[in-house]
Amino acid sequence: MLLSSLNNVNTQALLNITDIYSLKQLINEPTRETPVSTTLIDVIFASHLDNVSCSGVSHVGISYHSLIHVFSNISLPSAVKGSSTVSYRQFKNFDHNRFRSDILAQSWADVMGIDNPNEMWLKWRSLFLEVCDLHAPLCTKHVRASKSSWITSELKNLMYQRDRLKIKALRTGNPSNWSNFKTLHNEVNNAVKNVKKSYYYKTFETYNENSCKT
């Protein structure tokens, strides 16, 4: 009913909800066609259209429902501790029409010949990703691990001095150097606690009326 200007009660309720949350419906052509009806009942909603590369409908003959799809631009995730690369899909040369054409050319009938739903899904996924890999290949990128927002240049300098004192104490074995290292080590620990406390206090104060950012 989304294609009709005369929406029924349920359709209007759906549109009201999407309006409340500022969502945009991306599919704008029929997704279920039969000999007697043409309707748009398979939908994709997005809140940030700037992140959407493309969306559309591919009329694959698995059922009366056509395949709907969306590709989203997302920022590369920060590296997990101990990791230096992330994987992402490259859309630089992506051609929407060629993608749809290749999707349609896949042997979707093979999916319908499988009785086990889990195996059906794996076969469907394999056919779909085969085309994705052709038009938006997976790439890897080296990334730097994210830094703690609360670390200041002064704190980094103190940590640097502490580490140098430890190296000096290890090399010389001098009790005085060990004593200096211990003093600065404790000073750095206290500074870390104070800096983190100050950072989070100011941040919570700044976003005090914004539960999402808090």
Please state, as a whole number, how many other Cβ atoms lie within 10 Å of the Cβ of residue 184.
Answer: 19
In SS3 terms, 125-148 reads as: HHHHHHHHHHHCCEEEEECCECCC
Q: Which two tokens stand for residue 208?
A: 């005090």
Determine the Cα–Cα distance for residues 59 and 27; give it in Å rounded to an integer: 13
Query: What pLDDT was estimated at residue 86?
Result: 74
Residue with the two structure tokens 């009326």: 209
Residues of the chain scoring pLDDT < 50 = none
Q: Which two tokens stand for residue 20?
A: 């409340």
Where do the structural domains in the chain lie, given as residue ranges?
Answer: 1-74, 75-146, 153-206
Determine the Cα–Cα distance for residues 85 and 110; give it in Å rounded to an integer: 36
Query: What pLDDT was estimated at residue 130?
Result: 93
C-alpha angle 124-130-134 in degrees, rounded to nearest 5? 150
Query: What pLDDT was estimated at residue 62?
Result: 60
Residue type, 91: F
Phi, psi of 195 (to 5 degrees): -65, -45
Q: With CA atoms as reference, report the closest residue to 26 among 5, 7, 4, 48.
A: 48
Query: What pLDDT was estimated at residue 83?
Result: 55
Query: What pLDDT was estimated at residue 150?
Result: 80
Q: Which two tokens stand for residue 62?
A: 């698995």
Residue type, 58: S
Query: What pLDDT was estimated at residue 84?
Result: 67
Query: What pLDDT was estimated at residue 45?
Result: 92
Determine the Cα–Cα distance for residues 60 and 42; give it in Å rounded to an integer: 14
Query: What pLDDT was estimated at residue 102?
Result: 92
Reported as a single tens digit per residue, the pLDDT across 64-106 is 788 888 888 766 555 555 556 777 888 888 888 899 899 989 9
